[in-house]
Each structure stands twice: as C-alpha cells, then as structure tokens.
Amino acid sequence: MVDALGVAVVGFGWMGRVHSRAYARVPHHYPHLPLRPQLVTVIDEVPGRAEEAAAQFGFASAGRDWREVAADPRVGAVSVTAPNFLHREIGVAMAEAGKHLWIEKPVGLTADDARAVADAVTKAGVQGTVGFNYRGAPAVEAARELIASGEIGSVTHARIRLFSDYAAHPDGALTWRYERGRGGSGVLGDLASHGVDLARFLVGDLASLVADTAVFVPERTRPTGATAGHALASGGETGPVENEDYVGCLLRFASGARGVLEACRVSVGEQNTYGFAVHGTKGAVFWDFRRMNELAVSRGTTYQDQPVSTVYVGPEHGEFGAFQPGAANAMGYDDLKVIEAYRFLRSIAEGTPCGPTLADAVHSAAALDAMTRSVEGGGWVDVRTS
C-alpha cells in the first residue's frame, strides 16, 4: 500500500527548486517506496515567487509566511531551503510541530544552531536529514566502501578541495551570503561544510585542526531587488563583505590520519572543482565532482609506480541502478537530490534514519566553529561536538 505524504518547501531559490523537483521524481526512480510525496504548499517571502512556483511545480497552495506551514495539518514533511539565518528558527518550529525535516546545510549559522535543530528533531521523534548531497554520489559511496574494506591499506592522509567561482565576479551582489548575520561564516558554511562531511564520511571523525581564512573581495554592491542564487549588481550603494571567501585548513583525524581541506568561492577558472584524494599505505582513491561518475583508484601490492585506473560507477554502486541501466551513463547533480529525497522519505516510512542526519550536521558545524576559533587564536584547536 502506498501512503501519501504532504510536503512543504520553505524558500524557493535554487535549492527550493531542486528539492521540489526531487520530490516529484522520487516515484519515477523508486516505484516501490510505500510513501508518495504530494506537493502541498510552497513558501517564499518575495511577493509572487511562491505563486509562480505553485503554478510551475504543481503545489496545491502558496504563501509568504513559513509559520503557516507549522500549523498546516496537510503537511507531514518540510524542506527548509531558506537562507542560513532562518534554519534554526524554522527547523525547530517545524520539528516541534511534528513535521519531518529535510534541511539544507549548514543548518544555521553556528554549531549551536545545528545542535538546537538536532535536539528538536530528537525530542519530537521526527526524522531529520540534511543536504550533504555529495556523500550520496554513487562514486563517493564506492570510495567509502573501498576505503573501509582496506583495499588502499590504512588511510594516511586525505586532501579535500572545494573551489568555485560563484563569487569571483566583482559585481556579484551583496546578498545574504556575504553577511555574518544572515549567511554566517561565508565559504565555511557554504562549501567547507560539504568538505568536512566528505572527510568524515570517508576517513572518520576529526580530532583537531588549524585554519587560515581570507576575504579577497572586501566590498560588493547591494542588490536593489529580490535575489535568488548568485545575482549581479553594480553602480549602486556598496557594503562590506563580512565573511570568508577562502579557508585553508590542516586536519588531524581521530584515527591519526592527516588531512588538508581548502575551500574558496572566488577562484577564477574553477567551476565546481569539488573533490578528494584519499591516500592509504597500499593505494589511493581520487574523485572529482565534475566527473561525478568516475573514481580513479590505485590498488595493488607494488607501492611504487603503481598504476591508477578509472572505474566508471554502475548499478552495483550506491543508488546508481535507480537512475541508469549501465556504467558510464552519466548521472547529474539533481539526481543526488533525488537520492537524498528518497532516503528522507524512506526514513519516514521505516521510522529509522537513512542518509545524513542532523547529528552529521552538528559534526560539520562543530568543525566550522573550530576553524573560526583557530583563526581567532592562531593555532591548533580541538573539534568539539558538544
């Protein structure tokens, strides 16, 4: 038997669109899931944006105040895809209202915010998942299995890199992303949050770190109207960029492995250069999001001059088989969100977590807080999750 589950989406920018599409596509890829999402309502504060969304995506209703969702008995699950400063207030309110929660990273501005949402989810007994989509890529799951199986020996060191040019244009508008009060810690929350999650997913918990940050575009033009995504603005009033464009970080894992994490949002010539290299005593595994369905693997017993081969992921890896019939038929970014939606709905159907949880969000946010403390104090700091 298939039950209907009413869903709401709060915040209809890029992520709101992607979540909405993902809900609609879940039954196409996962016909046996006993829960079928129904797009009940969409909320955005910009006049007309939610109505347009409802008309285009088929939501039954639209509104401008997210509080209506908490009180709406038609809604069983909520996507929180609004800017970071709203995550805590909306996330806690939805959980307290008994709604299951799919919330975007970084889950608030600080680890304290992420913890508040995680606690509310636990207390309410609802399911919660967070938008760490990269760990859901079949190639990343394959890399995790390869590492866990010992095929590359014991992990010695890892390099995680997230470079983007989305803020490189000097006319990039001063949106919520560049304000501490609404965006939080800049590229830390935006990109390094994914990097920390990948590091933990592949290698394990972080013990300590030392970080350095920088702002390379210190001033931007304020937008004159509503924005979504990465809008341009020029010629008007300018204001300061209040959070980091760049972070470089040395990591020590609890296992004793070492790592380097670097993230930058103003890297000219880099478009979604997100990826990792994990090295072990017998081999290594490499992944680049731009070639999302490939893994480069070096394994064997030769240690020196050991070849690196390309593995095209296929139906035997992660969720690939729900999307494509054979290896090297490419999956794309939106497919990662379909996987995330599927796991969220499955967690609700089965009453047990599936996919990244709010506890993972707390771990990631704790590492970001540690980076900030390290920059302030100028040295190594422990990563504290409580």
Ligand X SMILES: NC(=O)c1ccc[n+]([C@@H]2O[C@H](COP(=O)([O-])OP(=O)(O)OC[C@H]3O[C@@H](n4cnc5c(N)ncnc54)[C@H](O)[C@@H]3O)[C@@H](O)[C@H]2O)c1
Which positions lie near ligand X, rule CB under 6 A?
Answer: 10-16, 43-46, 49, 66, 81-84, 86, 104-105, 131, 133, 190, 226-229
- Closest CB to ligand X: residue number: 13
Report which DSSP code applies to 66.
Answer: T
Shortest separation between residue 45's beta carbon and ligand X, angstroms = 4
Alpha-carbon 38 to chain mean position: 24
What does residue 114 show for φ and ψ, rounded to 5 degrees? Answer: -60, -40
φ, ψ of residue 199 in degrees (nearest 5): -60, -45
**Residue closer to ligand X (CB basis): 64 or 373:** 64
Nearer to ligand X, 82 or 210 (CB): 82
Shortest Å, Cβ 247 to ligand X: 15
Q: Report, in Å, the least distance between residue 91 CB and ligand X.
A: 11
Task: Pick the closer one to ligand X by CB: 362 or 381.
Answer: 362
Min separation Cβ 242 and ligand X, Å: 16
Strand partners, 3: 35
Shortest gap between Cβ of 130 and ligand X (angstroms)? 9
d(CA 129, CA 361): 9
For residue 106, whether the previous peptide bond is cis, meaning omega lies within 30 degrees of 0, is yes
Contact residues for 108 (Cβ-Cβ < 8 A; gap 6+): 84, 85, 87, 88, 91, 114, 116, 117, 184, 365
Q: How many residues does the chain have?
A: 386
Name which of 246 and 253 has its Cβ closer to ligand X: 246
Based on CB atoms, which residue is closest to ligand X, 135 or 279? Answer: 135
Our measurement of the distance from residue 187's CA atom to the centroid of its chain's CA atoms, rounded to an integer in Å, reads 13
